[in-house]
Structure 1
């Protein structure tokens, strides 16, 4: 597991064009990790980097801000992703036999909640925080999206979930993202 994630660059004033990503004007890019040393290293490098080439779009770095995760003092977190959550399932058909190794799950499929809950606990164990985190509810599900990544496609959908757990664990998930492939930009939490 790679303990970091990121969202797509956002340009609030860019003119929307159907079928294309809106680019132009002032914007921002969010990067995150539950490991402070990773965030600190990024901040140090980015403050000395005047330009980032993001898939052909020139991003001029004007400032770098460190943002702490919400406190989650009551042990409840409502997290909404701005990028699709990628989750792989068992790949088994109705007869219980494995039919594929690339069984991407969507939030409305029966296996999704269980696999997402397992992913949340595994992330907590990886970082060394309390793994007693519960997926209480999937509140909202966005449209299915697929992206070419490397030699294939990753399929997912954005979600909003209600989680219960230790405040530190919820903060870690907010900083890392939901699901799999966070280091490829999937499952980024809206701040």
Structure 2
């Protein structure tokens, strides 16, 4: 029971770190970087901030996945017996892995923007007129991804809440009865 509580806490906290970190980065970090007077500093400051966050985010993802495996293992009997749990597990896993892939891709694009920071920009995700096509393309994609990432993270949190609701005794009994009928 105590192990399950720890795994759930870690699972929820790491999803919260993903959500909060990505939202703060899009609003706070990218917004603040766009206020730099030197256009070359705008992309560089944003890139440096995201680079500092990346190891924390990677650790949070690893802990999220490991705690998710622990929770799944502990609930394998209920997952097999209670209607809807296995399907929700698959759905949540797909959303989590897709969101992780989007986050990783944003990191790759961010590295590209950092390498091209000398070209300058209007903001972290807004190219300057005359910027290279490579920089413009990366920033255009990042402009969308900076908002897609917290959507995925928030979606994972909502699905985690759904899992919690499915574990209420009343819902477990209903799921077991419905599955057996």
Higher helix share: 2
- Fold-level similarity (TM above 0.5): no
**TM range, smaller chain:** under 0.3
Bigger radius of gyration: 2
Higher strand share: 1
- Point out which structure has higher relative CO (alpha carbons under 8 A, 6+ apart): 2
TM-score by length of 2: 0.22
TM-score by length of 1: 0.21
